[in-house]
Chain A
Amino acid sequence: MHALNVMAPKLKAFFDNGGEGFASSHVDRNETIQNNVHQFTALLSYWYRTLNVDDENPNAFIDAMQLDDEQEFKYETIARPLAEGSIQYGRTLTMEEFTLARARATAEYQRRKGSAKKKSVKKKGSKKKK
């Protein structure tokens, strides 16, 4: 699997240890380049998933990045809506479109995280009962 064995590790190196591959915001003003790398990753991950590159694990590409919580939040609420919205429109999003896409993605992310948390609390609770 070229995408996972060759492409993914090159990108992962940026995200490792809290993002050691990225320049400080002193050099990377407004974290423009960091955001671009996030978006690049989101675009590749979208196509990896939707083109069925890996039928068994469609999310293998983004999973390979092993994003920490902060990176995951940024990825899910900024990079992904930006990338997937741009694919949908075939162009970069206007600020209005991006704001809307970001709000939707943030709500969805929080809902997903919330239900995952509830599930884990339930599991812990059921273990205690035993």
Chain B
Amino acid sequence: MTAADKEEGKRVIEEMKQGDVSSMQTLQRSDAAYDVAKKLGLFDTLEDLFEQDMEGELPNDKGYFSTTQEIITNIFKGNREVHDRYTCACPVRTKEYILSSPTAWDNMMDATLFQAKLMTKADSIWDVELGAWRHSAARDVFATINLALLHEKVAKALFFKSKATGKRSQEEAREYACPQRYGA
């Protein structure tokens, strides 16, 4: 990991904490920057952003249409070197996020379903352009989530997250207690 990766990861997470996800593609492109952001609270920040997006608390003058769309199609995209949005989803990142907190999956699912609900609002009907943007955002979000759900490890994480988190905690405790044995 280079100093530049650290700087990039730090900058992106700081912007995200201010509600700005315009640099999110950095975390798609660079696993190193993603790792830095993760250590600096990426997953908690994602949960906050999903909530703020649903509450309409994020600024309107951002350079993208939907925060949830930006997050899900960038952070959880698979084959990150391929430049289209629908190639596949990253099971490792998705699983990591789901296991990061007891509410992580619920928040992501809520934010995803919220994209579909937005389309039933009256302004999606009379404002054709807004309706089209919302349609595109919902389609992108569902495409990524549905691709993530092809993976058993993602499904296991979301259905058995309390058990998985418990198991992981036990493993972490053992590593902490016997660092020489576990190579920590």
Contacts and interface: CB of A to CB of B under 8 A. Distances in A.
Interface of A: 3, 6-7, 10-11, 14, 21-24, 26-29, 32-33, 36-37, 39-40, 43-44, 47-48, 51, 53, 83, 86-87, 90-92
A9 to B, nearest CB: 11
B120 interface: yes
B66 to A, nearest CB: 13
A86 B86 CA distance: 14
B139 interface: yes
Contact of B146 (A11, A22, A36, A47): A36
Contacts of A3: 159
Contacts of A51: 152, 155-156, 159-160
Contact of B124 (A6, A27, A36, A91): A27
B139 A40 contact: no
Interface string B142-164: 11011101111001100110000
Question: Interface SS of chain A: helix, strand, loop or mixed?
Answer: helix
A48 B144 CA distance: 20
A22 B116 contact: yes
9 contacts: A10-B113, A22-B116, A22-B120, A27-B135, A36-B139, A36-B146, A47-B152, A51-B160, A87-B150
Contact of A28 (B109, B119, B155, B156): B119
Interface of B: 86, 88, 106, 109-110, 112-113, 115-117, 119-120, 124-125, 131, 134-135, 138-139, 142-143, 145-147, 149-152, 155-156, 159-160
A43 B149 contact: yes
Contact of B131 (A7, A21, A27, A91): A27
A33 B125 contact: no
B159 A40 contact: no
Contacts of B138: 33, 36
Given A24-B125, A27-B124, A47-B152, A33 B147 contact: no
Given A14-B116, A22-B120, A91-B88, A39 B125 contact: no
Nearest to B145: A40
A33 B136 CA distance: 9
A83 to B, nearest CB: 8
Contacts of A22: 116, 120
B150 A86 contact: yes
A91 B149 contact: no
Contacts of B149: 40, 43-44, 47
Nearest to A43: B149
B62 to A, nearest CB: 23
Given A27-B131, A37-B142, A47-B152, A7 B120 contact: no
Contact of B142 (A7, A14, A40, A92): A40
Nearest to B138: A33
